[in-house]
Chain A
Amino acid sequence: MATRAFQRLPTAPAGRILTLRLVAIIVSLFIIAGVLALAGHSPLMLAQLIVHSTLGSRFGLEDLALFMCPLLLTGAAVTVCGTIGLWNIGAEGQFYAGAIAATGVALGLHGPTLVILPLMTIAGILGGMAWIAVPTLARAYAGVNEIITTLLLNFIASLLTYYLTTGPWRDRISGAQVSTQRISVSIPEMWGIVHWGFPVAILIVIGLALMLSRTRWGYEIRIGGANPEAARYAGIPVRLRIISVMLLSGGLAGLAGMFEVAGTVHRLQGGMANNFGYLGIVVAVLARGSCLNVIPAALLMALILDSGIVMQTQQLSASVILAITGLILFMIAIGDELAHYRPVAKVAAGGKTS
């Protein structure tokens, strides 16, 4: 019956992936537009409004950069973990842990910004690392599935944040709910409300890309991810590499939390992680395991988040953005798989290979 058949290639060519992703995004946008139209909104007007207030205004661009900053780091966190074949679904919790540790330093120590800020940075990174330590050891020494363990710690971190911001660290000055008082030090701003954390995050991502592609450590990680058995046979200490990569991943997510505390929110707040950890997974998926690709991927994700603000002003719930992100992720997952197929011109009878 079939006159054309498809052959599955083990690796998909980059051009085809890009094309199919564009198709996936366009299909998602059509589905979203259809749903919005059914719900009584005008998709065209919304689209115009979104483009106008995200890319077309100074405030929109500043917000875009502020959204990108944590996404770059959490996206990189999930990406480096993915290089060795592991999923860090707990960037959200590590983000909180970093934010908590950094806030702790800022609330507990007083001194010049030049001293406190580096201390906060170190605390943030260590906080994130501490938060991934148990899943790391469980994975490296007992083979426990890291997806579940990293994820469960997200809930604990969120509860811990809630406890601190309503209990011992609650705001006694202005009485704000589920929040600490404003911390006294902050990352200096460079452009409007965009702080220096943004360029630093981009530099970190570029540095990671170089580390993974140019160093022996990066090479061993990539081999460990591609074929753990071969890596072990070649004498690569896979267990140690797993530990180093997961701790690095946790540290990056923790740093994202510290940047958010010191640069954007200026206090520890319940719910401040804003799904950045989970969206980091989306960024990493979009980046397809390459750290450099994290930059455009984070830009796309930040655009989606930025348009979420616009949609909120149009009486659309903020959670719609999560559903839209899910839809796009779903379509892209399918598109990526389809990119592996190459049409075969001539085929033997009954060659239904799909």
Chain B
Amino acid sequence: MIVLLTGMLATAVLAGGVLALAALGEVLAERVGVTNLGVEGLMALGAVTAVITVFSVHSPWLGLLAAITVGALGGMVFAFGAVVMRANQVLCGLATTFMGLGLSTALGHNYAGQPVDAIFGHVNIPLLSAIPVIGPALFGQNILIIPIYVLLPLLVHFVMFRTRHGLNMRAVGENPAAADAAGIPVMAMRFWYVTLGGAFAGMAGGYLTLTYVPVWSEGMVAGRGWIALALVIFAGYRPIIVTLSALLFGLVTALSFVGQAHNWPIDPAFLNMLPYLGTMAFIIVPVVVWHRMRRIMAAPAALAQPYYRDVR
């Protein structure tokens, strides 16, 4: 039982990391009032970039850096359309996803199916990794786990809720006209936070191919970007809750692995549906069960609305 639990938690932490990164990036973008539906495409670009880079330089760190850079560039392209040109955010996001998925498949054509040779290996942090059950999961896996689950969410939370800059940032997402009147650069704020969100999505893709599934194949992101978007809504646009829900979500994924490993009498196709069904339940059930949830977890008031200074 302990062995099963340890294994499941380890898988959950590993699988949830992809979602935690992507969702945290999306929290940044949505808090300044921009919905980036391009996460799925940016993740695919990040994933393929990491693989291609590692094949030529054999360093997972450089691979991850390349994935982050490409994600940020993709985020900039999206932000150029959705923030600078103020085009429809849903369309720009879908277009970014199409471009990202198409480009990544075209670029990764020659690398498909080849195992990545340099990935982030296991690192055992002394003492901490000896804690039963949670030790191996949190401190006995790759080096990125702690930054993803602890450092980045705390940092984002601190900046967003404990600094003046964070207050400005949230003001841009809630009431850009008032923020503008107070002298906050609305457009710059939106542009750079969307770019940063893109970098997170690219990093999530890189993390995917450099730790969890170290091989590129078409369609390997498999809707994780969309699940991340759903987690952001579920977590009420809060950085720490979104990270915890990504972990919860990793558990759902782990459940389907455990099911396959233990030959549960359920077809793998149905076990593979669990993450998607789980996400549906995540975003529908809380609102139905507890109506006040809708107000507490409300989206930033100006979400998905382009800001025009001269239109009132």
Contacts and interface: CB of A to CB of B under 8 A. Distances in A.
Interface in A317-350: 317, 319-327, 329-330, 332-334, 336-338
Contacts of A40: none
A176 B306 CA distance: 50
A354 B37 CA distance: 26
* A: interface residue count bin: 35 or more
A8 B88 contact: no
A151 B101 contact: no
B223 A323 contact: no
Contacts of A144: 283-284, 287
Nearest to B227: A152
A281 interface: yes
A337 B84 CA distance: 11
A46 interface: no
A159 B272 contact: yes
B81 interface: yes
A153 B95 contact: no
Given A8-B311, A144-B284, A152 B95 contact: no
Interface stretch (A110-118, A160-168, A250-258): A160-168
A163 B102 contact: no
Given A143-B294, A320-B106, A162 B269 contact: yes
A20 B26 CA distance: 31
A271 to B, nearest CB: 10
B276 A149 contact: no
Nearest to A87: B90
Contacts of A155: 222-223, 273, 276
Given A163-B269, A163-B270, A337-B86, A152 B96 contact: no
Interface string A128-147: 00000010001001111101
Contact of A163 (B37, B267, B306): B267
Contacts of A321: 102
Contacts of B101: 319, 322-323, 326
A278 interface: yes
A23 interface: no
A92 to B, nearest CB: 11
B269 A160 contact: yes
Give the secondary structure class of A's interface.
helix
Contacts of B41: 326
Contacts of A159: 269-270, 272-273
A336 B284 contact: no
A123 to B, nearest CB: 22
Given A163-B270, A327-B99, A333 B106 contact: no
A142 B287 contact: yes
Nearest to B230: A148
A329 B105 contact: no
Nearest to A148: B230
A144 B267 CA distance: 30
A325 B97 CA distance: 11
Contacts of B105: 317, 319, 322
A316 B81 CA distance: 27
Contacts of A330: 77, 81, 91-92, 95-96, 99
A154 B90 CA distance: 18
A126 to B, nearest CB: 21
A330 to B, nearest CB: 4
Contact of B309 (A160, A162, A316, A353): A353
B276 A153 contact: yes
A190 interface: no
B87 interface: yes
A149 B270 CA distance: 18
A31 B180 CA distance: 35
B230 A333 contact: no
B276 A334 contact: no
A147 B276 contact: no
A152 B287 contact: no
B279 interface: yes
A156 interface: yes
B174 interface: no
Interface string A161-179: 0110011000000000000
A152 B81 contact: no
Interface string B4-46: 0000000000000000000000000000000001000100000
Contact of A336 (B88, B109, B311): B88
A326 B96 contact: yes
B85 interface: yes
B226 A333 contact: no
Give 6 nearest A-B pairs by CB, closest first: A323-B102, A326-B98, A322-B102, A319-B105, A326-B99, A163-B269
Given A87-B90, A155-B273, 19 more contacts: A89-B94, A148-B226, A149-B280, A149-B284, A152-B230, A317-B105, A319-B106, A320-B102, A323-B102, A323-B106, A326-B94, A326-B96, A330-B77, A330-B92, A330-B99, A334-B81, A336-B88, A337-B86, A337-B306
29 contacts: A8-B310, A138-B288, A142-B288, A144-B284, A147-B37, A148-B279, A152-B226, A153-B280, A155-B273, A156-B276, A159-B270, A159-B272, A163-B269, A317-B109, A319-B101, A323-B102, A323-B106, A325-B102, A326-B96, A330-B81, A330-B91, A330-B96, A333-B88, A334-B81, A334-B85, A334-B87, A336-B88, A337-B86, A338-B85
